[in-house]
Amino acid sequence: MKQVRRLQPRHPIQARNGLLGGEKPMVCIPLVGKDHDGIVSEAKNVPSIAPDIIELRIDAWDFIEDQAASLAMIKEVRAIVGETPIILTCRGDWEGGFKKVSDEAKFGVYEAAVKEALVDFIDVELIYGEDKIKKVLELLDGTKTSLIVSFHDFKKTPSRDELVSILKQQIAAGAHVAKLAAMPQKEEDVLNVLSATLEVRRQFPCIPIITMSMDPTGAVTRLVGGLFGSDLTFAVGSQSSAPGQIPVAELRQCFNVIHPTHTEA
């Protein structure tokens, strides 16, 4: 019996040695160390874990307001992880991040890292609005860095129609990748995330999409979301960055079943 391929975007994004939107969803691990030694320790563990991509959560850094120190740290991480793609994410406390971070620090580090071609994706919340997102897109124009426009709700899951609307707003704002994560309060919320993902993937087949339902209740979306159009899932490397993340080794075992690399006649 012929294997049914998952729904993939028409225009996947090649980032160094990784492909966002390929036959299997990318497996991403977050690096959430706070100080220099902790960050380096996590980065040195990356080759043994062998994720498809890493997320550098710089909002966890003790020195994030120091642009020079932050840029030097990003350079050091890049040197350690080699050609593994990097998502650069700085999410303030009001966005569900680790602590209060000024916009000046966040976007200053983003700009410096992009100009030095250190990272492959940067993450900006939809709530910043189209004008700010447009300015970020102008920064990225002509570079190899792509923009993830994201939405996070750590308390609840919007209705299915709202989820679809949010993803459409991200795409309309110019996102290279649309990302959505929500906290389920009931099992139906998990189904709504998968259903909304499927609808948007079919309506907008070009760009990659990342969606997930959080907490243990939503963990199934991290396993099967790729069948509904989600192109990346987050897993636990050294530490998790959100509730419901699954250890990398366990996730890959499941992927081998859900996304087999061979076709049976």
> Which strand ranges, in their side-by-side order, compose the sheet holding 232-236?
209-213, 177-182, 146-153, 121-125, 86-89, 53-57, 26-31, 232-236, 246-247
Q: Name the residue with higher pLDDT: 239 or 69.
A: 69
pLDDT tens sequence across 125-163: 999 999 999 999 999 999 999 999 999 999 999 999 999
Residue 125 — φ and ψ, nearest 5°?
A: -70, 145
Instruction: Select which of 75, 179, 259, 262 is catalytic.
Output: 179
pLDDT band at 4 (very low <50, low <70, confident <90, very high): low
pLDDT band at 263 (very low <50, low <70, confident <90, very high): very low
CA atoms within 13 A on the CB side of 253: 5
| Tokens found for residue 195 | 């259903």
Strands (E), 140-245: 146-153, 177-182, 209-213, 232-236
Q: Answer whether residue 260 shows pLDDT above 80.
A: no
What is the model's pLDDT at position 63? Answer: 97
Q: Name the residue with higher pLDDT: 2 or 255.
A: 255
| Tokens found for residue 126 | 């939809």
| Tokens found for residue 156 | 């609840």
What is the pLDDT averaged over residues 3-14? Answer: 86
Q: How much is the pTM?
A: 0.93
Q: Answer whether residue 195 shows pLDDT above 50.
A: yes
| Tokens found for residue 26 | 């990318």
- The residue length of the chain stands at 265
What is the pLDDT averaged over residues 171-195? Answer: 97
Compute the distance between CA of residue 220 and CA of residue 51 in angstroms, rounded to an integer: 19
Backbone dihedral region for residue 52 (phi beyond 0: left; psi -120 to 50: alpha; all else: beta): alpha
Q: Answer whether residue 184 shows pLDDT above 90.
A: yes
> Could you give the percent of the chain with pLDDT greater than 90?
81
Residue 90's SS3 state is coil
Residue 152 annotated as catalytic: yes
Instruction: Select which of 24, 106, 152, 176 is catalytic.
Output: 152
**Number of helices followed by number of strands (H, E) in the chain:** 8, 11
Cα 193 → chain centroid: 16
- Label residue 10 exposed, middle or buried (CB < 10 Å: 0-12, 13-18, 19+): exposed
pLDDT band at 244 (very low <50, low <70, confident <90, very high): low
What is the pLDDT averaged over residues 196-201? Answer: 98
Compute the distance between CA of residue 200 and CA of residue 125 in angstroms, rounded to an integer: 19
As annotated, the binding site for 3-dehydroquinate includes: 55-57, 91, 222, 241, 245
CA atoms within 13 A on the CB side of 264: 3
Residue 148 — φ and ψ, nearest 5°?
A: -95, 120
Domain at 25-252: CATH code: 3.20.20.70
What is the model's pLDDT at position 252? Answer: 82
Residue 57's SS3 state is strand
What is the pLDDT averaged over residues 22-47? Answer: 94
Residue 176 annotated as catalytic: no
What is the model's pLDDT at position 239? Answer: 53
Domain boundaries, the chain: 25-252
What is the model's pLDDT at position 264? Answer: 43
131 Cβ contact list (under 8 Å, min separation 6): none
